[in-house]
Structure 1
């Protein structure tokens, strides 16, 4: 596996948690006060290794949206076409999804995105390669696919900056930080790894 270097500067610390949600929760909280023998203020910033790093991609069916293509070109206004698409996909007797929240129609690309009110409605259209579209007495065949939601799973790592030292040694302050961020009452959780730099800088390598 390729090694990706990250430069850790003085008064910074890297913490890697077992649970990704802990890292995300702490990043949202941003400012933290570490209290043990002394009080130390620290700032949490999102941790990134830069472009080109591969992340795990999670893809799921959205449950409420479908993507429609091959919509026929008809001599009618765009809002009429939106209404006809809404009516067509609303009809449950032909396998439709029921009440519709929104229709986004693009005349140029002959595509649309239909958003249903009911969660899971888009699953009615899984397996449909062609869907009947009745308009002006004619029946056309539309290509229908469920819309997919994709998100990148982030690292379980946070970067602490602006660590204000109060005379503690590097090892002692690292222990203070670790104890603080392990406590669920502080929004923390189980820590896999921690590295704090009090002076100078060091290079930390991550495996891609």
Structure 2
């Protein structure tokens, strides 16, 4: 077979169409390529834009961070200054509070001082009148006592003991130094022991006093009338409103001073009466007597200090047996200790408490020895 028989000829129309199709596909691909290139460029531009935006954002973020840190530092400085100022204001407030407290204390102290001075003024008028005379004795004002209290101690004696007081202190000291003493009692003798007499006495007493609103103290009473009559007349007089009085609750005589305490049911009577110290009361018809009306003081002990004291002229004799009657034994003890040969001396007082009896000895202030 020849070569011409192996190939068939393609019509020209078919080839032309095929070429057109290829050319059209190429055109399409070119358009698609251009679109892709445009998309690529768009993406590249978008990427570059995003990179720039990111860089700008990072820079802006850094700037914001710096501004925030600067603001924080500024705020910290401001807060510290405010805190320092607040601390200063608190210190100033505390200082002002302390000053106010001190001022209040001073005002309270001033009020208390005024009340105390007022009470002292009232106290000075509340003491019944007594006649006094200056005898030339001087005292340091800083140590002068506010009240003169006479010491009085009640001493319970034990059984089989005696208290003996000598006129001279050295006699008591001599007996105490010897301690044991043999006392001759007729045909027999006894041995007694000399001991010092010691007890607690007040050394410092402080009292708070206040004027009672319902009571008055009446002094300068007549001596010639009976107590019952005086009490009745006082109650009648001071219960009348025309005498600036009121309803009387109680009328009591103070036995130690001879003055009278009148208690009213109302609180405002006492202050009115004490504004006029002297009052005339009618004891008998047509016979009047002036009495003094002063505030009545209520007292409360706020400080009491005690100390041990010894009797310089008194000796306690112990170990005394009941060998005879009380009076005879007491006389023999006095006779024995009055003799200088027995180391004794002049006896000022003696009391003997035998077994089975109860005796209370009263000690009072020792009077100064006169030369």
> Structure 1 length as normaliser, TM-score?
0.49
More helix by share: 2
More strand by share: 1
> Structure 2 length as normaliser, TM-score?
0.28
Bigger CA radius of gyration: 2
